[in-house]
Chain A
């Protein structure tokens, strides 16, 4: 028995350690059954892309990962901790998971750099000069270093979204969650945000990405999930799924979006 444990662990080490594990996730909003029994494992360095028609539960699933939405049923593990357990310290867990929202959700009353240093100082308790340096590094990394003292209202959508990414990255998370981050952007601003995400994936960041950008899904995703009416309709290699969709539902969906 003990041997088996060791062997399992060894296998896990070689295949990449599971960072996030979702097991039997169900979510009801009132009578609406949004997620019905989803299992998902995210390994380190995975770029898991989630696609599917609107209302299929993609965003809800993503939000269950960092418990912004608590699953009605099912369990979520982060590393070795079950974070659906009521005793889990979610504030601590969330410092290891960055999330970027469709609506940016920057704090409008703070400058770009203050948006980033706030959590560094108040949550990670970094001294303010160290927080400032780290924030400036991240802003430069996403290409808005010159906008540090601008307020969100003074920035374009693409710039705001990149500041939001920098804000999440500054916490040095182990996994980044992206919730339709380009959907609210003007078409000409989508590229600059995708570029940052592509670079991030290249740097080996573990990512879960809910998106309508099929090009990004195909080229950057290491694994893809097709969500349909709260179930995993199909999953696998993105390229396989794009070129050889197995189910009618995925075929229909791809025909509409491509």
Chain B
């Protein structure tokens, strides 16, 4: 058979080998969403319903050791009662059932969807359905244990009244420590980072020892030890907040050093060669050509370190601060020991999130901008 006699292809009579198209991708997608919506909405609506209406302490609440003398007992009881409300129960079971339907239909049919978009719908529907099931089961399980005791200790916000200004002060102290610590750490880190890149071992070694020590020991140990080393070793009696900032700076410096080292190493060899070939010395080349470029690249990881440091400042609790020096976590601990109500820790978590979530968004945006490769142009020129 010669090549010229190749069989002709007629789309009109060509058999469709794809097989039948699976039905209703949009329905599966909708079922998945419905599952999640039913579960969350059922729980939220009955919680809100109980919270806004005037209720009393029910016998079942008292059975669960929520006594009328407890501050905020009715609020706690409302949470427990709302969890047991038929609306909650019904929506949990309904949501789980709908989720199961979406999961089964989606998994059974996604391979036979005839477009990418329909397949996406089927898969997403199945995934959302699975999430609905998991959420429903988790809430049912939680409800079957001791929700009353939990709500009494962790969701009783009544005792927090009057602690608002204390938390604001705590947040301020947390940010002061994290900010000052990060700033000091960046200065230490930049110096150490450059030292670790030296071709001379005698220069590298001390920097490496410092970095390995601070990366290799727990921060909580460094805080405690730092305090006593200053006090007993050097007879320096600084306020706890200052000691904390110093230790945070020393610790962050070790991590920032690695960030700067990696940032500097990521600059192409040609850059330092170009600078040196123009007669610049090593220090000049670093200062004008390499470090300014490296600094741009290390902004996202340094911001990451900052977010980590914000949370790590909670460790100052080991220092025994005075009340005016309390950070968020110490404030919560103080409130909890005064009222025996652990809801202060729930509030602390919310306070940390208020500070960290916008920063995390900022880090992601900065990373995205860096990846887009516009940093050399826009970063310098605006």
Contacts and interface: CB of A to CB of B under 8 A. Distances in A.
A60 interface: no
A171 B274 CA distance: 13
Interface stretch (A23-31, A35-43, A137-145, A146-154): A146-154
B281 A109 contact: no
Interface in B269-292: 270-271, 273-281, 284, 288-289, 292
Nearest to B379: A109
B376 A151 contact: yes
Interface in A87-142: 91-92, 94-95, 97-99, 101, 103, 105-111, 118-119, 122-124
Nearest to A164: B274
A106 B288 contact: no
A160 to B, nearest CB: 12
Nearest to B281: A91
A109 B280 contact: no
Interface of B is mostly: helix
A123 B377 contact: no
Interface in A54-80: 66, 68
Interface in A181-235: none
- Interface range, B side: 20 to 34
A167 B377 contact: no
Among A122, A151, A168, A171, the most chain B Cβ lie within 10 Å of the Cβ of A122
A110 B296 CA distance: 13
A111 B380 CA distance: 9
Nearest to B381: A151
Contacts of A119: 275, 278-280
Contacts of B268: 103, 105
B124 interface: no
Interface string B241-285: 000000000000000000000000000101101111111110010
A105 B279 CA distance: 15
Given A103-B268, A151-B377, A122 B284 contact: yes
Nearest to B288: A118
Interface string B8-47: 0000000000000000000000000000000000000000
Contact of B376 (A66, A68, A108, A123): A108
Nearest to B284: A122
A118 B287 CA distance: 11
A29 to B, nearest CB: 14
Given A101-B270, A109-B293, A153 B377 contact: yes
Contacts of A91: 276, 279-281
Given A123-B284, A151-B376, A151-B380, A105 B273 contact: yes
B277 A109 contact: no
Nearest to A119: B278
Contact of B276 (A92, A94, A167): A94
Contacts of B273: 68, 101, 105
Given A107-B289, A151-B376, A123 B280 contact: yes
Interface of A: 66, 68, 91-92, 94-95, 97-99, 101, 103, 105-111, 118-119, 122-124, 151-154, 164, 167-168, 171
Interface of B: 268, 270-271, 273-281, 284, 288-289, 292-293, 296, 373-374, 376-377, 379-381
